[in-house]
Amino acid sequence: MATGIASGSGQLYLREPVYRRNSYGKAQCHSTVNLSGMQNQIHWSSWISKLLQVDRSNYSQCQVKTNRKSHRGTIKSCQREGSTRYFDFAVIGSGIAGLRYALEVAKHGTVAVITKAEPHESNTNYAQGGVSAVLCPKDSVESHMQDTIVAGAYLCDEETVRVVCTEGPERIKELIAMGASFDHGEDGNLHLAREGGHSHRRIVHAADMTGREIGRALLEAVVKDPNIYVFQHHFAIDLLTTQDGSDIVCHGIDTINTETQEVIRFISKVTLLASGGAGHIYPSTTNPPVATGDGMAMAHRAQAVISNMEFVQFHPTALADEGLPIRPSNARENAFLITEAVRGDGGILYNLDMERFMPSYDERAELAPRDVVARSIDDQLKKRGEEYVLLDISHKPTEKILSHFPNIAAECLRYGLDITQQPIPVVPAAHYMCGGVRAGLEGETNVRGLYVAGEVACTGLHGANRLASNSLAEALVFARRAVQPSIDHMNISKIDRSASSWWPLPVAPLLLGDTVLNKVILRTREVRKELQSIMWEYVGIVRSTSRLALAETRIIELELKWERYLFQHGWEPTMVGLEACEMRNLFCCAKLVVSSALSRHESRGLHYTIDFPHVEESKRLPTVIFPSQLNCSWSSRQLHRQQIC
């Protein structure tokens, strides 16, 4: 299954059948394919390579200039001209994918790491569980693959799954060599945890703060690297692209320094999008505030192919503040995650009458994949009219609980809950986007010079549902696999010093004055809550066609109403600000999710609809949204027009 509109800027040839949707309109089936059994997985890694194939020798003279002599075009230091910075590589995002990639490509040129907030503020920092990798003799790559494909509801790309499961262990060893410290057992070997959907213990972890430890090790290495420059509090606005015949070419990124309100342009030979997910399209999410879908939206506006956006993973067990003995005084910006590993270590789910319910939904009980557990909890809450369920680990030895989950224990104790003695109140929350910018096996996209890694990418690994702890492994593997093609592209490219003048420079809305600007910001925050409410009510864990269609209509109406408000108050098309640009990205991602969900006429993995409650083998195809030039509103087009050569 695929959905989208073919861009007028180029032909994207697919071997597989597609559905096309006109600007979030009706889907039309173009052809069918016979797929059956686990062995016939979606081999998109073969046909996506054709779709994303770049003829690197076919460069227009007014695009990136070529220089085939290795490294001669390398920029030896950070160079600037006014508000423009010049780098060999630009990395958008400071999570595990962006930093790991930066450390490798920095051996070949200068690197700008552009991060929205503090460098440590990313989804990586909040990842509690760990990294999945086959490191035990009793385990196998084939077993890890099987677990991944089953959890992904057989929509995974088998070649991608094999790549990640095979290369993951080596990526873990590299982290350890860089100084990352993981938990070890009494035998001196790495302690391997087990999580839902895994048939073996294969989760490498640092207590329940794995992401924080990985981020620490990577950031320390980045700080020491003289070729890497970190630009914190720089919000990415739009990719800088031109059109070369039928190809779109990426030349860097426009940003705004959110502390000084200065617009900074980064011209680069290669750009990596590693900007994370879009959890904040929903009112409750485990994602940090920076996760507003910026990379996905920017890539879509730049005519990159988007895939599988209907598959939004709701983590089954976020801390339910309503059930805590002491309520937090202020509403959280993001829900506190209760890691999958709690259930992996024997945690049991109960309703408020202390009745265990998971065995009645799935024979794997608490160890079922996340989509199953989240729907089961959702069903319990709706049937019983309750706000949360209970996750109990208190039957385990106190010392084991405190050693494995110190962060969770400390957070709960702040609010009067002792997890060694009492069950934890939990509720599902938006957690992970299985879809994103479509990538090949080397992180390449259909936009020349643009690579993706991490949650912003859709590599085919996760299929219809991500297996626990596979995300950090995927980020490490694809960040590393994108390195060589990026270096190759850098070596045949040359920075054109006139490039910065090809696009008009966005401007901060300072001329509006504080009074008007504050009104715009306040209204934007209200609109953001309205959008999140629509998404939770109509595009949540359980869906229906009528409610999805209603969501689509309401989102479009809300977006147009918000845009009118902005322009009535003096906003100009070239103006940029953090709240406004985040809002347009949230609108974009919300529409992509709804459009993709409307196109999938079956229930598979994370996408469950009451109108098509069963899995349909004939529908076992990825959803694809092709580039569109029908970008008539401010929210849905690049702030600058493309340079056409």
Q: Which amino acid is at 52?
A: L
pLDDT computed for residue 70 by the predictor: 31
Percent of the chain clearing pLDDT 70 (strictly above):
84
Segment 439-467 mean pLDDT: 97
Segment 585-600 mean pLDDT: 97
- Report the 3 state secondary structure along 418-448: CCCCCCEEEEEEEEEECCEEECCCCCECCEE
pLDDT computed for residue 195 by the predictor: 83
User: Model pTM greater than 0.85?
Assistant: yes
Lowest mean pLDDT among 190-204, 252-266, 543-557: 190-204
Q: Specify the 3-state DSSP secondary structure of 619.
A: helix
pLDDT computed for residue 74 by the predictor: 52
Q: What are phi and psi of 428, to 5 degrees?
A: -65, 150
Q: From start to end of 289-376, where are the E strands?
A: 306-307, 312-319, 348-350
Question: Distance between CA atoms of 332 and 315, rounded to whole angstroms?
Answer: 17
pLDDT computed for residue 498 by the predictor: 83
Q: Are 256 and 237 in contact (CB under 8 A)?
A: yes
Q: Mean pLDDT for the chain?
A: 86
pLDDT in tens, 480-532: 999 999 999 999 998 888 888 899 899 999 999 999 999 999 999 999 999 99
DSSP secondary structure of 563-613: HHHHHHTT--TTB--HHHHHHHHHHHHHHHHHHHHHH--S-BTTB-BTTS-
CA 282 to chain centre: 14
When mean pLDDT is compared over 53-62, 428-437, 501-510, the highest value belongs to 428-437
Q: Are 547 and 614 in contact (CB under 8 A)?
A: no
Percent of the chain clearing pLDDT 90 (strictly above):
72
pLDDT in tens, 298-338: 999 999 999 999 999 999 999 999 999 999 988 888 899 99
In 307-458, alpha helices (H): 340-344, 370-384, 398-404, 406-414
For residue 332, indicate whether it is catalytic: no
Asked whether the predicted pLDDT for residue 386 surpasses 80, the reply is: yes
Segment 55-80 mean pLDDT: 38
Question: Distance between CA atoms of 247 and 240, rounded to whole angstroms?
Answer: 14
Q: Are 328 and 415 in contact (CB under 8 A)?
A: yes
Give, for 293, the enclosing helix (H) or strand (E).
Answer: none
Asked whether the predicted pLDDT for residue 31 surpasses 50, the reply is: no
Closest CA to 199 of 137, 135, 144: 144
Segment 171-176 mean pLDDT: 95
Quote the radius of gyration of the chain (alpha carbons, Å): 23
CA 374 to chain centre: 19
Q: Are 311 and 464 in contact (CB under 8 A)?
A: yes
| Burial (Cβ within 10 Å: 0-12, 13-18, ≥19) of residue 558 | middle
Structure tokens given for 249:
């070419």
Closest CA to 310 of 93, 28, 589, 571: 589
Which of the four pLDDT bands, split at 50, 70 and 90, describes residue 196?
Answer: confident
Edge-to-edge strand ranges of the sheet holding 348-350: 312-319, 424-433, 389-392, 348-350
Question: Distance between CA atoms of 522 and 580, rounded to whole angstroms?
Answer: 10
pLDDT computed for residue 1 by the predictor: 38
pLDDT computed for residue 534 by the predictor: 98
Instruction: Given the residues 100, 301, 370, 620, select the one marked as catalytic.
Output: 370
Q: Which residue has the higher pLDDT, 644 or 283?
A: 283
Q: Specify the 3-state DSSP secondary structure of 27.
A: strand
Lowest mean pLDDT among 5-14, 226-235, 612-621: 5-14
Lowest mean pLDDT among 57-71, 104-118, 277-291, 313-327: 57-71
DSSP secondary structure of 134-153: --STT--HHHHHHHHHHHTT
Find the distance separating the first CA and the last CA of the chain, reported in whole Å.
34
pLDDT computed for residue 235 by the predictor: 97
Closest CA to 505 of 156, 307, 159, 237: 237
In 197-301, alpha helices (H): 210-224, 294-301
Asked whether the predicted pLDDT for residue 644 surpasses 90, the reply is: no
Q: Per residue in 481-518, is it b (16+ CB within 10 Å) or e — as a string?
A: bbbebbbebbbbbbbbeebbebbebbbbbeebeeeebe
Segment 531-544 mean pLDDT: 97
Q: Are 440 and 418 in contact (CB under 8 A)?
A: no
Lowest mean pLDDT among 417-426, 488-497, 632-641: 632-641
pLDDT computed for residue 33 by the predictor: 27
Give, for 87, the enclosing helix (H) or strand (E).
Answer: strand 84-92
